[in-house]
Structure formats: C-alpha cells, structure tokens
Structure 1
Amino acid sequence: MAQKHETKDKPEGASAGPVQTGPDPRLEDESRLAEIRRKIEEVASDAPQLAKIALEAMVRRHNPELKGTSQTAGRAGRQSGNVSELTAFATLKPGGAERLRRIFNLTNGNFDGAQRVSTLHDMRFVFFDNDTKILFATTYDGDWDAYINDFATKIPELMDLLFQSVEGWPGIADPSVKDFIARHQIDAAGWFVANPQVTVVDVRRLQRMEKAVNEMMDEVAGTDLDNSGPKALKAFLDKMSQPEGVDY
C-alpha cells in the first residue's frame, strides 16, 4: 500500500525567498554610468584620460537641484538662483584707459558709492588690446532691467564718470543706454556661483546678526542671566529690527 505523505501548509506570511519587486538598482546605476561616459566621449573625446575621469566624477556628483547658468537674467546675461552676471566689451576713446587708471588709483579701486545699489556684488574693469578696449564684468542680484535702472537712479554720476571714456557712451540717463549696454554684452558660456540663493542684502543682514549675537554674548558673559538676559535680548532684537544703510 502506497504511503501517504502529508503536506503542511506554510504559515501565513512566510516567504520562499527574496522577491524582486522592481528593476535592480545596480543595473540602473550601471546604465546611468554608461550614459555619462558616452556623453563625455561626445564632448571630450580628445581629452586626456585623467581629465575624463575627473569630468565623470564631477557629473556623477552633480546636484540636480542646482540650476547653474540655465536661466536668463532678462534681456541679457545669465542667472543662477538669485545672482546674475553681466559681461561687456567695448572700445575706449584715445587716452581712456589712462584716464580710468588715474581714477582707480585715486580711489584705490574702492567705489563705496556703488553700495547704494543694494543688489551689486562686484564690478571689474580690465583693459586689453594695448589699452584700446575694456572688459566690464559685474555680478548682481535679480534681473537685468532692474539692475540697469538702479545704476541710472542711484549712482548716475559714478556711471558716467567711469564710462564716458567708452566710445559711443550715450550717458546713463539717455533712453538709449540699455540698447548700448545690450549691444556690447556677451552672455557667459560657463559660470559658477557657490551660493546662488544668497543676495547682497542677505549677506549684510547675516553680518549684522553675527555682530549683534556676539555683542549680546559679551554682555551676558559672567553675569546673572536672570537679570542681564532679558535686557541683552531686547537690545539684540532692537538692532535686528532696524535696517542700516541699504540693508533692506
């Protein structure tokens, strides 16, 4: 008589082994790496192997949240986060470079008045082609039109002082000045901003905050916090609530 074998039902929820519920992420990584290498070969096939390896590492670590220079600043220029760039080339009038050098030397290259433009990060002036041409480069917050308007309304005298040595400069108050600037401006092909969300106003506010915090800590150091703490905190809040200069 054949022996009857009993089969036991598996406990509910038991698994026979790991179940693959989707594509293997390792395959996705390999496919992405292959695609990166293919693109690197397209754009840098003649580069040394070490350069390709470095480029591969940079692309693999790239943060997709950073938009880089993919945005336009408006009429001209590129924008990364809140920060924009303007790069312009122009021909100088005879003697223009020497005249500007005298101005730069007189002021030690420090244009404090330009801080009235609260979006201005920096301005750079470079002479080339035997002092016949000038490169003007600046970094600022926001859009192109608003920035040029700030130049015209907040530091018009400084702008005309600096740019009257440029051939064809119409004057910052002239209605054609934006057309003039746009004609001489060239968008950056590549541009990197370490902190694209931080504006000039943010920097000044953070500097004021750091100073106020340090002063508050100095005031309460070695004292009875129950007595000195509220007074120091009030002084800190008062300082932070009052804008200074162009901190707005």
Structure 2
Amino acid sequence: MAIKTIHEARFVLFDDDTRLAFITSFDGPWDAYMDDFFNSGPTLALFDLIFRHTEGYAGLPDLATEKAFVLGAQERAAAYARNYPGTVKEILKAQRVNAAFQKVLDHPDAAAALQHPALQPLLDEAGD
C-alpha cells in the first residue's frame, strides 16, 4: 500500500453481497490519514475502482468530497484490540534494524567485537 501509516485494510462483502465494508487501522489522526489516503496514488485508484460500484459514490474529485463520502458511511468500532505495540513506522524500522543486525552476526569479522559484554543483551534477543 502507498500509505505508510496503515496497519491493515480489508474489504468485506456481506448481506448476500449487497453491502460492502472497508475496514482499516492506521496510525495518527483521522484527518492526516485522509490527507495521506487522498494523495496516495495507487491506493486511491484502488479505492475508486472498488467504490465506483456502490450507491452514493460519485468519485473523489477533491479531499473534501473524499472526507464527506467516508464520514457519511463511517461507523465506530464497538471494540478494538491489537497484539503488538508501535506505529507502522516503528515496526518497519525494527525490521530494518533486525535485518542489519543479522548481517552483522553473520559477518566473520564481527566475532571478536561481539564478545564485548555490553552486547550480550542484543545477542540474547537475537537468539530468539
């Protein structure tokens, strides 16, 4: 997805395929997410392709129209839970740091440096 703040998003057909739900979880305030969504290029094009087949959808010529369309159909979740902390940005950074650390662990010249006691907590975590 072109929007870097989305944790997940899905489309769900229900009521004998007569209704469509777009469900998403994202980081930050709603207005900032809508701004990112409107400027997302491919993601907005996909949204437009899917929703052009729904009642009341007349396209998204501008940000105000996008926000009005979403607000007109939006429902609040009764409950929400997630199993991991962190924003999408933090999670992606942790993955990059882990990948870099794994390269260090695999490098033959790193063995001596990795013997330093200060690195033991990192090595313990890397073993999991």
2:88 paired with 1:206: no
1:179 is aligned to: 68
Consecutive unaligned residues in structure 2, runs of 5 or more:
114-128
Runs of 4+ in 1 over 3 A off after TM superposition: 220-223
Q: Is the alpha carbon distance of 1:192 and 1:221 closer, same or farther for their aligned partners in structure 2, counting shifts above 3 Å?
A: same
CA contact (8 A) 1:170 1:177 kept: no
Secondary structure in 2 aligned to 1:136? strand
Matched, 1:130 2:16: yes
Residues 166 and 218 of structure 1, relative CA distance in 2, 3 Å threshold: same
1:164 aligned partner: 52
| Total equivalences in the alignment | 111
> C-alpha distance in 1, partners of 2:35/2:60?
9
1:64-143 to structure 2, matched below 5 A, reads: 114=1, 116-143=2-29
Name the structure where helix makes up a greater proportion of residues. Answer: 2
Greater Cα offset, 170-179 or 211-220: 170-179
- Residues of 1 paired with 2:74 and 2:11: CA distance? 14
- TM-aligned CA deviation for residue 192 of structure 1: 1.3
Q: Alpha-carbon deviations, 1:4-28, whole Å to 9, x = none? A: xxxxxxxxxxxxxxxxxxxxxxxxx
Deviations 1:66-120 (A, max 9, x none): xxxxxxxxxxxxxxxxxxxxxxxxxxxxxxxxxxxxxxxxxxxxxxxx2x20001
**Amino acid corresponding to residue 157 of structure 1 in structure 2:** A
Shift of residue 206, structure 1, vs aligned partner: 0.3
Cα distance in 2 for partners of 1:222, 1:159 equals: 48
Q: Identify the residue that residue 35 of structure 2 maps to in structure 1.
A: 149
Residues 119 and 140 in structure 1, CA contact (< 8 A), matched pair in contact too? yes
Partners of 2:110 and 2:94 in 1: CA distance: 26
**Are 1:151 and 1:172, in contact at CA under 8 Å, matched by a contact in 2?**
no
Residue 177 of structure 1 deviates from its aligned partner by 2.0
Structure 1 unmatched ranges of 5 or more: 1-113, 227-248
- Map 1:212-227 → 2, pairs under 5 A: 212-220=100-108, 225=112
String of CA shifts for 1:142-198, please: whole Å, max 9, x gaps.
1111111111101332221222122121323333221121111111111112334x0
Query: Contact (CA 8 Å) 1:152, 1:173: kept in 2 or not?
Result: no
Structure 1 position 221, deviation (Å): 6.1
Bigger Rg over Cα: 1
So what's the TM-score if we normalise by structure 2? 0.76
Residues in 2 aligned to 1:189 and 1:157: alpha-carbon distance in whole angstroms: 29
Contact 2:10 2:22 in 1 (8 A): yes
CA RMSD in angstroms comes to 2.1
Q: Which shows bigger deviation, 168-177 or 150-159? A: 168-177
Preserved contact between residue 169 and residue 180 of structure 1 (Cα < 8 Å): yes
Distance in 1 (CA, whole Å) between partners of 2:58 and 2:34 is 14
Deviation at 1:222, TM superposition (A): 7.7
